[in-house]
Structures are given as C-alpha cells and as structure tokens.
Amino acid sequence: MVSIATWNINSVRLRVDQVVRFLEQEQPDVLCLQEIKTQEQSFPFKAFDALGYTHHAVHGQKGYHGVATVSRIPMREFSRHDWQANGEARHVGVELLDKGQGMILENVYIPAGGDLPDREVNPKFGQKLDFLQRMTGWSEQIDRPTLLVGDFNIAPLDCDVYDHKALLKVVSHTPIEVEALQRLADAHGWVDLGRKHIPAPERNYSWWSYRSYWRQKDQGRRLDHMWASPDLAAQSTAHRFVEETRKWEKPSDHVPLITEFAL
C-alpha cells in the first residue's frame, strides 16, 4: 500500500508546523506541495528529514508559486515542465522507486487566471488556457502509469462549487475553463480519483476563501485534484480530504487530499 497526499500550502515556511502536524497525523508516504513560495535553498528540509521524509524534489522561486514533493519512499526527479512558458516554478515530476514500483508522480500548480474570464482584457486568463493546452499536448504522449496531482484552480462539475449558477462567470468555474480541463482529461484518459471514490454530487470541496470561511459559510470549491492513468486508477483503494486543517490557526485556504494505492 502506498499513500500519496497533495496540498496547496500557501507558503511552506509560514506553515511548516502545520505540515509537520499533518504528516504526523496522516502518515502519507509522499506529500506534494504547491505554492511553496520559496527558493530551494530556503526550503525547510530539516523539518521533513526529522519525520523520515528524506527524499525531496523542490522547484521553487522567490516569493511566488513553487512546488515540492517530499517522500519516505526513494524517488528521483523525473521532469520539470514550463507549461507557463515564462519560467515560473509550477511543476515537478518524480519517479517513485522501491515500493513505489516506478509510478510517475507529476505535481502541478495551474495558474489561477486572474479575475475576468476574458483573455483580451485579462492576459492571466489567456495564460491559464495556454497552460492547459500545453499540458494537453504533453498528456497525449504519456506512456507510463502516472499520477497527476495538485492545485488545478478549476472546479469542473456543477456540484464542485457551492452555487453553480452564481459562479458560471467566475474564474475557476467558467465553461471555457471546464472545457479546457476536459480536453486535458481526454488526452490521456485521466481518471478523476476524487470523483471515483466520492461520487458526484457528494460534497468534495478543497478550497474556501479566507473572506468567507470565518463566517461559517460553506462556500467551497473543488480546485485540487488527483488524476491517474486508467491502469493506475484501477489500483486506487481509497481517497479522502482532510478538512480539519482549514480550521487550524492561520491555515492555508486549501485542504490536503490523500489517495491510497494497492501497488
């Protein structure tokens, strides 16, 4: 059994104590972090090493974005793609070794896309769509069992947001983004493990705005995802989200997801 977790931590240095708490409590074999907001030389390696997560792949930059994968299982860095086409640190891929049995684990932070769903007036939205298009081309070439995880910044299904009609023109749930994400899914036959194990329309949110969560309003969106190649998806045995972290002091606005595999 191998367990993989993913979490947009929204600054790993600011929230390293929460990551330690999560790792001690949930004990995943591998943790993929997004939005670490630090360069590699400033990553808190010692905190992870002390818990046995002695294998690392860190693709960071100063103050923004950044992804990192830490593991108790031996692994090697496998890939770094610049799907943003501007040098931003938004992806790192690893190959899990030993009991990971060669699984390719791709950790990605897809751009949020700004506020207006119109690439003519909002270049960030165009960058997001182009990022997805480049990922789609990459997906068509995959020839190994692969797990794609991270903050996709898109809630694809009507039930993946608290109010479908109200959010149709809000970036993260617009039809153009949902269609782009579907093209990405179709390019490799990706299986959405969140909905394999927690079928629609069951509640399955992973993000709540800082502006609304403290008011006890359940205005969530499912922005974080774990997708598997079809043959790997068949080996997934359980999937859950750890919502309690959203109630911790000064939390990330995202919560972790964990999938277990019988490899």
65-93 mean pLDDT? 97
165 pLDDT exceeds 90? yes
Confidence of residue 58 (pLDDT cuts 50, 70, 90): very high
- Candidate from 4-8, 99-103, 149-153, 178-182 with smallest mean pLDDT: 99-103
100 pLDDT exceeds 90? no
User: What is the structure's pLDDT at 217?
Assistant: 80
Confidence of residue 99 (pLDDT cuts 50, 70, 90): confident
User: What is the structure's pLDDT at 212?
Assistant: 75
Tell me what percent of the residues of the chain surpass a pLDDT of 70: 99
| Domain residue limits, the chain | 2-261
82 pLDDT exceeds 70? yes
4-24 mean pLDDT? 98
145 pLDDT exceeds 70? yes
User: What is the structure's pLDDT at 101?
Assistant: 85
113-128 mean pLDDT? 97
**Phi and psi dihedrals of 49, rounded to 5?**
-60, -40
87 pLDDT exceeds 90? yes
176 pLDDT exceeds 90? yes
In tens, the pLDDT along 196-254 reads 999 999 999 999 998 876 567 889 999 999 999 999 999 999 999 999 999 999 999 99
The pTM for the full model equals: 0.97
User: What is the structure's pLDDT at 213?
Assistant: 67
CATH class for domain 2-261? alpha beta
User: What is the structure's pLDDT at 216?
Assistant: 73
User: What is the structure's pLDDT at 17?
Assistant: 97
- Candidate from 11-25, 27-41, 93-107, 200-214 with smallest mean pLDDT: 200-214
**Phi and psi dihedrals of 32, rounded to 5?**
-100, 125
User: What is the structure's pLDDT at 186?
Assistant: 98
Cβ-Cβ contacts under 8 Å for 225 (sequence gap 6 or more): 148, 149, 150, 152, 192, 193, 194, 257
User: What is the structure's pLDDT at 259?
Assistant: 98
105-122 mean pLDDT? 97
Q: What is the mean pLDDT of the chain?
A: 96
